[in-house]
Structure 1
């Protein structure tokens, strides 16, 4: 998210992550103002400065369909309320909140609705949307919930930017990774849960250059453990880049996507580099946990423009 917001012109002054590898990657690419530690601690919260905008995504695993399902009762799921508490205390002009679409499922919808109500209660006009990154010029079918709140005294209800016709589901894998060279070595094979087979033994059995559904992958490979071999074709957008320390299969080669390919699929510029000191699995996790940078860029631009108009009108009326 920070990559997109920085590109949109935001001056970022503070960042936090509990994962020391994620904090290391952030410091390497964006700034040493990142603080690694538990956001629920008084020590970390005391370091949070005042700011015009707060943006973040509390850990999503407890709300994810593929996660624990613990919701707000989970150790990570309860952090949505920590986020709200920081907004209530700091009272920024606006905030951006991001999470998985699992927050909208029947099981977790009460938490989502309560969160919206509490944001309103602490003085914010809120808008929300389930955003598919593919609609906004990203070559990935990634759906995430965004909530944007604007402090009531500003007199603005945020309007999400609409996808442009030239962006709407136009980007495919060939567009974003087609120019990248093949890696020198196939070091992207991951041993599977039963510990018996590796990608190198299974990926060559899948048709190249075309999409393979989860069900079709299971039929071809004959083993339910290999359901995550579903893959997109070169003329399709990628499936969601996940955070489980791996990536989906490459559409034409018998290997997984490389980390750079995953970054491209997340619309992160090549200027962003993950240090070699970070393990490969941690690199995949960092990329998978991120926000598609182009989405945060477009939301950031829209928020800045709308805020500037509203604040200018307030100044004119006051004068």
Structure 2
């Protein structure tokens, strides 16, 4: 049963992500039918101001021992650093050993990793930090496509809004859909969002280091609606098919067909954001021909349907 929640505050804590935890668990909503939470804000030195990431300070009033005894420990985003206070990491490990659930929001996952809690565990983090996260914690199984990962007693979430998703998921899992819906309604957010991080990831056109391929790539971008064979592309690059295919993978990290498909998806994404064209017309302009093909490839690359993407991102 989820009755007590402790928010961990360290130097450089992000106010919004800390506020997400407070909004879901720290506000008394018993009048709406939400069970009360024993909400605690814990720090290594209670009563002393802690500097946030935006230059203001807040003063936690509970010690780390109150964190260890909580049913759920929430670790909001904070400034990423090489080392975190040993007492904080010890408290997190002690909480997990005692049976606490732990949830991280965005870069709060780095604190969990530093405590050794992510070894051989499924987790996620903000897509911008995914590569550095993998390098720093190679034993963690990182999925940067999703909004949050529920791995039993360990829940990790991606960017700011994904922290709301993860916290509401915990409420839904522990207290039921009705309670999660009551909190979401008061927050004026969706009780559960579809899709993952891919819809928010910037995917620029890959740059090449080989001058010989650049004209071919530009020509492919200018002729997205046309079909291109490897033989045709190799001829334009004045290479054999085998050499061209090998060079293409070396320079772009993928095959000509996959590269072209991704560029078509990116073009369709721009049209969904910036134009009023219907899906049929966007399918044609992006080179997919049919809405069915557009939906298939768009959902594979971006993670949501074209219609859902436009609903969220159209200007």
Return the structure number with greater helix share: 2
Give the alignment's TM-score, normalised by structure 1.
Answer: 0.28
Give the alignment's TM-score, normalised by structure 2.
Answer: 0.28
Which entry has the higher C-alpha Rg, 1 or 2? 2
